[in-house]
Structure 1
Amino acid sequence: MTRKSEQLLEKAEETILQHRPRDNADAVLLTMVIAENVKVGTRSDAHDLKALARLQDYLAEGLPNRPTRIGIMGSA
């Protein structure tokens, strides 16, 4: 992979991690990116941890007794 390709891939990953899921397809894509980061270790910028918090919020929205995050992941 060329340096330019690596930079484009990094930018795409950041974009995915920095937005809140709009639908289930977005949520699945987000879990895929987060899972890859977990395999190699978390990102130094913590975008993956913040994305995980946004994913938790998205998934909890439809629940009748919506649980709240307990602060383990920080704020989104």
Structure 2
Amino acid sequence: MRIKKWNWIVILGFLIFSFSAEAQCAMCRAALESEESGVQAGAVNDGIVYLMAIPYILVAAIGFAIYRLKYGKKKEVNK
């Protein structure tokens, strides 16, 4: 498969103009920088993991429910 000249230009542009981003609000940054013990930083990190995990768990549960609905009825029909 041959890649067109335009696609090479786009790929090269993405590689050249990639930017580093720090996604943290000003209030979180100020709170974490003022804390010297690091306890609050650990709590913020735990909160981020918690907020990140919930959507994955919900998608997995919905996917499992759809799987059971789709393949569970086929087993009953074959019996």
TM-score range, shorter chain: under 0.3
- Higher helix fraction: Structure 1 or Structure 2? 2
Which one has a bigger Cα radius of gyration?
A: 2
TM-score by length of 1: 0.28
TM-score scaled to structure 2, two decimals? 0.27
Higher relative contact order (CA closer than 8 Å, sequence separation 6+): 1
